[in-house]
Amino acid sequence: MTMNHNTDLHDLGVARLAALLRGKQVSAVEAAQHFLARARSHQGLGAYVAINDDVTLAQARAQDAALAAGTAAPLAGVPIAHKDIFVTRDFPTTAASRMLAGYRSPFDATVVARLAEAGCVTLGKLNCDEFAMGGTNENSAVAPVGFDVPQPVRNPWDGARVPGGSSGGSAVAVAARLAPAATGTDTGGSIRQPASFCGVTGIKPTYGRASRYGMIAFASSLDQAGPMARSAEDCALLLSAMCGPDPDRDSTSLDRPAEDFTTRLSDSLEGLRIGIPAEFFGDGLAGDVRAAVDAALKEYEKLGARLVPIALPRTELSVPVYYILAPAEASSNLSRFDGVRYGHRAAQYTDLLDMYKKTRAQGFGDEVKRRIMIGTYVLSEGYYDAYYLQAQKIRRMIADDFQAAFQQCDLIAGPVAPTTAWQLGSQTDPVSNYLADIYTLPASLAGLPGMSVPAGFGAGGLPVGLQLIGNYFAEARLLNAAHRLQQATDFHIRTPQGI
């Protein structure tokens, strides 16, 4: 097979690219150069915040050597880009914050290291909301590659719209074919929602399956890493490399051996019971999103699945519960950014307290400050019982509701987000922004695996994602259901115009 490198390489996706690399029809260096060139020619999208040809090509040469020697790992030479929330030794890490300007990690995050062991070549770092707080990627405080000042990340389906967040750069890199795949993190929906807004596939595994070591912490009891790629098959390949216990470095990583998530992709869906929560289809759901989700559900019925009405009665409470617990944990996690240990320090100050105050006032953006204030408030004496403790109790009930639902069904399906991607600059009210997370937060609070699968297009040709939620450790089943849908539809391989 001869490839037209200029047009074809970036359309292949992980599985096919890996096969070509193994067959030596393309070299790791060629693949890396191709994607680096695309990252530059599409830098107006604002997806990348760091690239470094020397580092990437050195990694690619090492993979070519392994391929030549017959010692290559399964994903040898496959380029990948990482959300800038994962620390990396060879690239700067900012978490999209001024606070970490100039920071260099002395080590790689476990997820980054595992993907490198699997043969992946790092293309660079991707834009995100500051400390992963947000749903539009408009909270980034760093300038993307090619710019001197921060820029909004643009949705390749409509440059006037947000890509979603917080893993917005990751979703854009995959949607615009600037990387075959990317890592993301999901605390309350940050893999699923941008995947939905940009028409790519993304999965957040069960909490604890992927190590959090080297993932800059937002809300530790919720944060989880996962892959974003074009297809469920590609996500399965990447997730197999990313997961697995990391007991010495992440005490919440689960003692569950790594799994090959590709083996059950093609299983039949005959008799699969898909739970449809009424609460995910209420008044706030836009008509075009509903239509695409309904069509995907019909497709599942054709594939032999049965739709079962279920109830997740505390869905609405997931918003206040999450926006108490996540800021509470964030306020504690972010206390380490004190001007002494990492990154930014105010240039002028009078004494130690003044140095802390000025450093944090200068280093953090508005949304991060808002969350630190909410978190500090709900943890303070007198309010802890009224807010934090109550929220913890309801979190447990939300998890119990899912267990009751999984008595009646094998998977749960619904929309990822109430609407398609918003206009840039249109989400000015933080509370209405928070409310838009309503469908992703329940699975996050329960620690369940969830994914977004391209399910069609709404008004203005904007992508719509279908959310699939599984019980604990049901990643293989989620990927199987997503793969079968993708064999029956072509939404995941459509390319935005001009890309």
- Which residues form the interface with ligand GLN (CB under 6 A)? 132-135, 166, 186-190, 218, 326, 437
Phi then psi for residue 412, to 5 deg, are -120, 140
Give catalytic status of residue 166 as yes or no.
yes
Q: Smallest distance from the beta carbon of 185 to ligand GLN, in angstroms?
A: 6
Of 224 and 486, CB closest to ligand GLN: 224
Of 20 and 128, CB closest to ligand GLN: 128
Terminal-residue alpha carbon distance, the chain = 24
Q: Smallest distance from the beta carbon of 328 to ligand GLN, in angstroms?
A: 12
Of 166 and 201, CB closest to ligand GLN: 166
Give catalytic status of residue 105 as yes or no.
no
Tokens of 413: 């399906």
Catalytic-labelled residue, pool 105, 140, 190, 331 = 190
Q: Smallest distance from the beta carbon of 165 to ligand GLN, in angstroms?
A: 6
* Cβ count near 122 (within 10 Å): 27
Tokens of 37: 């060139």
In which residue are the tokens 């001007």 written? 339
* Cβ count near 432 (within 10 Å): 10
Catalytic-labelled residue, pool 27, 97, 140, 166 = 166
Q: Smallest distance from the beta carbon of 189 to ligand GLN, in angstroms?
A: 5
Of 187 and 196, CB closest to ligand GLN: 187
Name the residue number minimizing CB distance to ligand GLN: 190
Tokens of 35: 């994607």
Give catalytic status of residue 196 as yes or no.
no
Of 19 and 373, CB closest to ligand GLN: 373
Q: Closest Cα partner for 479 from 204, 291, 277, 247?
A: 204
Residue 298: Cβ-neighbour burial (10 angstroms; 0-12, 13-18, 19+): exposed
Catalytic-labelled residue, pool 83, 105, 140, 196 = 83
Contact between 447 and 206 (Cβ < 8 Å): yes
Q: What is the DSSP letter of 314?
A: T
Tokens of 411: 């998977």
Alpha helices, H only, 70-137: 110-117
Q: Smallest distance from the beta carbon of 137 to ligand GLN, in angstroms?
A: 10
Residues known to be catalytic: 83, 166, 190
